[in-house]
Amino acid sequence: MDWNHLRAFLETAQRGSLSAGARHLGLTQSTLSRQVAALEQQLGVTLFERVGRSVLPTQAGLALLEHARTMGAAADALALAATGSSQAVDGVVSVSASDAVAALVLPRVIARIRAAAPGVVIEVISSNALSDLRRREADIAVRHVRPQEPDLIGRLVREASAHFYASQSWVAEHGHPYTVQDALAHRFIGADRTGAFLKYLRAFGLPLEASHFCTLAENSVVAWQLVRQGLGIGAMMDEIAEATPGVVRVIDELPAVVFPVWLVTHRELHTARRIRVVFDLLAQELAAIHRG
């Protein structure tokens, strides 16, 4: 049985469409479709049924999916073991982080890493989703939650904090809202239309309504630019806000939002020298930013 055909089936099933599976594998959609069709012909079963632009595994496909996942995990483990045997301090190391950390924190950190390890190429992956390190979506991840997977290694770098901010021009026009009651008279930058961000703010002690959000931006870098342009009040990590000219902390009576900063890598990847060097330098520099 051709592993490429099985991998085509696995990625298509896990990602819900031929186009998404093809992008992940670096193939054209027609190539992936031919590989799936070849597997169906070899097995004598239909593995997928089309639902609009998506595909869903048939009963026969579902019966094979767990076996394919087991084989995929074994192949990934083989690749991880091979990568972990390298002791060279060069090559590519991919680091995933949320959009704000990737755009507004990591550049300063990477500049210092490049000076210490010039042979290493850092690939930055900006994503608010948790990268699957076991499937090599990234080598190292900056996370705000403790890793739960037993085969991952995590290091708690520090506790970070966030507050609410507005631009100096906004404060000059609207006044400085010191209390929660003051803040209820003003507009905020929201994160989504689902109500998840609003629910979180209410639980935190800020009884806002949907009408308080004048602008929405799921990407936190975009939301921060909206705050800087004077369009409303928004939340941001303190270290990013402190490095941003022209913004002022507001709603001073609210306590800080405190959250952890974890560095996470795979246990076998952690034995590779280039991964270890970047991991340790990331931890050192992220902690130094906080102390500074």
Residue range 23-38, pLDDT digits in tens: 888 899 999 999 999 9
Q: How many angstroms separate the CA atoms of 70 and 74, rounded?
A: 6
C-alpha torsion 215→216→217→221, nearest 10: 40
User: Looking at residue 152, what is its pLDDT?
Assistant: 83
User: Looking at residue 276, what is its pLDDT?
Assistant: 85
Q: Residues 38-94: pLDDT tens digits?
A: 999 999 999 998 887 788 889 888 888 888 887 877 776 666 556 555 555 778 899
In this structure, the answer to whether residues 133 and 246 fall within a common structural domain is: no
Q: 2-16, 121-135, 247-261: which has the highest mean pLDDT?
A: 247-261
User: With 60 as the cut, is the pLDDT of residue 238 above it?
Assistant: yes
Quote the mean pLDDT of the chain. Answer: 87
Q: Which of 44, 64, 84 is the last residue of a domain?
A: 84
Percent of the chain with pLDDT over 70: 90
In this structure, the answer to whether residues 173 and 111 fall within a common structural domain is: no
Cα–Cα nearest to 191, from 163, 166, 215: 215
In this structure, the answer to whether residues 139 and 27 fall within a common structural domain is: no
In this structure, the answer to whether residues 12 and 151 fall within a common structural domain is: no
Q: Which two tokens stand for residue 5?
A: 């055909």
DSSP three-state, residue 126: strand
Cα–Cα nearest to 248, from 160, 169, 191: 169
Neighbours of 195 (CB within 10 A): 11
The Cα-based distances of 127 to 62, 97, 189, 223, 242 in angstroms read 29, 6, 20, 15, 23
Q: Which two tokens stand for residue 160?
A: 């970070």
CATH code, domain carrying 126? 3.40.190.10
User: With 90 as the cut, is the pLDDT of residue 275 above it?
Assistant: no
CA 58 and chain centroid, separation: 31
Q: Which of 62, 84, 106 is the last residue of a domain?
A: 84
In this structure, the answer to whether residues 74 and 210 fall within a common structural domain is: no
In the chain, the number of structural domains is 3
What lies within 8 Å, CB to CB, of 242 at 6+ separation is none
User: What integer is the mean pLDDT of 191-212?
Assistant: 90
User: Looking at residue 204, what is its pLDDT?
Assistant: 87
Q: Residues 144-194: pLDDT tens digits?
A: 888 887 778 899 999 999 999 999 999 999 999 999 999 999 999 998 888
Identify the band that residue 136 occupies on the pLDDT scale cut at 50, 70 and 90.
Answer: low
Q: Which two tokens stand for residue 178?
A: 């010191």
Identify the band that residue 272 occupies on the pLDDT scale cut at 50, 70 and 90.
Answer: confident
In this structure, the answer to whether residues 271 and 243 fall within a common structural domain is: no
CB 288 within 8 A of CB 113: no
In this structure, the answer to whether residues 152 and 164 fall within a common structural domain is: no
User: Looking at residue 165, what is its pLDDT?
Assistant: 98
Q: Which of 38, 62, 84 is the last residue of a domain?
A: 84
Domain that holds residue 101: 91-156+260-291
In this structure, the answer to whether residues 179 and 237 fall within a common structural domain is: yes
In this structure, the answer to whether residues 148 and 278 fall within a common structural domain is: yes
What lies within 8 Å, CB to CB, of 7 at 6+ separation is 25, 72, 75
In this structure, the answer to whether residues 251 and 264 fall within a common structural domain is: no
DSSP code of residue 212: G
In this structure, the answer to whether residues 190 and 106 fall within a common structural domain is: no
In this structure, the answer to whether residues 112 and 251 fall within a common structural domain is: no
Cα–Cα nearest to 103, from 132, 125, 131, 118: 125
Q: How many angstroms separate the CA atoms of 167 and 245, rounded?
A: 9
